[in-house]
């Protein structure tokens, strides 16, 4: 098993996007990139800690490659809006890839360069690609959030559209139970 860490806005959205992919064993919502140890959700939401809401994906590279995870990442959020995803604004919602190895760093930078060269987006990509420092799991009530709280308004209006997009675009890569 390997790990990948992504920030694509609210971690409830990114968690729901990745957890039904074949080869993904576990997705944990959490925080990285900030100035204090063991931050709380309230502290991160203040925007003062420098942390980003991220997910850490544990995956089987024999089933789903890191490159495939990158493809899902790039296609399921807007990497051109600095510190923003939809109505969620602040540095805690920035687009980021937090690499675990030099190979992940190389692959992520190559993918970003390819997207830039081909003009895949109308605006410049603002996604940061940096080595992962420390990952702090979010509080328990943030884990598996969409599956446990799918009827909540935020889940219905924001998360569900991302989940539906994954089903439409990556249906062949989803677990049978998804």
CB 129 within 8 Å of CB 109: yes
Beta bridge partners of 85: 88
Tell which residue, 33, 105, 23, has the closest CA to residue 58. 23
Beta bridge partners of 96: 7, 128
Beta bridge partners of 28: 56
Catalytically annotated residues: 10
Query: For residue 39, what are its two tokens?
Result: 């931050």
């Amino acid at each position: 098993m390997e790990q990948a860490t992504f920030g694509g806005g609210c971690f409830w959205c990114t968690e729901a996007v990745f957890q039904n992919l074949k080869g993904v064993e576990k997705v944990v919502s959490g925080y990285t990139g900030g100035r204090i140890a063991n931050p709380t959700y309230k502290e991160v939401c203040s925007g003062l800690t420098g942390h980003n809401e991220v997910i850490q994906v544990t995956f089987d590279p024999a089933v789903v490659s890191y490159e495939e995870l990158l493809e899902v990442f790039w296609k399921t959020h807007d990497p051109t809006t600095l510190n923003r995803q939809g109505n969620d604004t602040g540095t805690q919602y920035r687009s980021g890839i937090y690499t675990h190895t030099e190979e992940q760093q190389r692959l992520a930078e190559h993918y970003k360069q390819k997207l830039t060269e081909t003009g895949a987006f109308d605006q410049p990509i603002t996604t940061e690609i940096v080595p992962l420092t420390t990952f702090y799991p979010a509080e328990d009530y943030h884990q598996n959030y969409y599956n446990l709280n799918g009827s909540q308004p935020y889940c219905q209006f924001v998360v569900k559209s991302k989940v539906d997009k994954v089903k439409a675009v990556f249906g062949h890569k989803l677990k049978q139970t998804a």
